[in-house]
Amino acid sequence: EELLRRLSATTSASQRLVAPGILVMNSKLQQWRTVTADTSLASDRGAAATVDLVEAIAAYIPQQKAQEEISEVNDALARTADAPTPGDLALLLFPLRRSLAALETISTEIDERLRVRFRQLVDELKVLIDGENSVPKARQDELAVLAQGEELLAENNQLSRTLTAAVDRLVAKADHEITASGLEAAVVQRYGTGVVLGSAFLSLLSSVLIAWLY
């Protein structure tokens, strides 16, 4: 978010720097039309107006190119901040670096009065495009964190499934053992009942024999 704020501020400053060139050219164009349309004026006035217009156009062309490239950089960096994959991020870097190279070339052609400040703004854009504090690097780090999170989530899901399966096996084994223990207890109970009844019968028989003998 901080990088995008810096991008917005740099883009706005760059556009404000080159925008007056349009106004100057439009003004020179209007003057030229006025002078050339007025046949009562001396020819040297028309020639001077033409020279002024040509100079304005020559100064405007680099500024117009700068505006276009700055807009391209702004749009590309905005898309870079939301790049869905590292592959998309790599593809976006090509037009960004091309625009940066174009701006560096324009900085040598632009009006001398604007050149120093324009160069500073190009350097600011360069920092946002390349380097450790750039928008692409920040997005690359974000994608790496997201990928790591997805990997950890997949591992956790696998561990959860493994643990669930292990618990199910333990529960099934416990149920089996409980069932087996229940059957064993029933058998023991039946044998125990038989032994008790047998003992009682023998005791009764002994009593009868003793009574009969004596």
Q: How far is CA 170 from CA 134, 151, 156, 161, 177, in A?
A: 54, 29, 21, 14, 10
Task: Count CB-CB contacts under 10 A for residue 22.
Answer: 14
Q: What is the pLDDT of residue 202?
A: 65
Residue 185 has a pLDDT of: 64
What does the alpha-carbon distance between residue 21 and residue 63 come to, in Å, rounded to a whole number?
7
Residue 84 clears pLDDT 60, i.e. is over it: yes
Question: How far is it, in rounded angstroms, from Cα 17 to Cα 9?
Answer: 12
- Contact (CB, 8 A) for 89 and 134: no
The arithmetic mean of pLDDT across residues 43-55, rounded, is 68
For the question of whether the overall pTM of this predicted structure is more than 0.85, the answer is no
pLDDT in tens, 113-166: 778 888 888 888 888 888 788 888 888 888 888 888 888 888 888 888 888 888
Dump pLDDT digits (tens) for 7-33. Answer: 777 777 777 766 666 666 667 667 666
Q: Which domains does the chain have, with CATH numbers?
A: 1-133 (1.20.1440)
- Determine phi and psi for 85, rounding to 5 degrees: -140, 160
Please give the Cα distance from 173 to 51 (Å, whole number).
Answer: 99
137: which residues sit within 8 A by CB, 6+ positions away? 131
CA–CA dist 63, 57 (Å, integer): 10
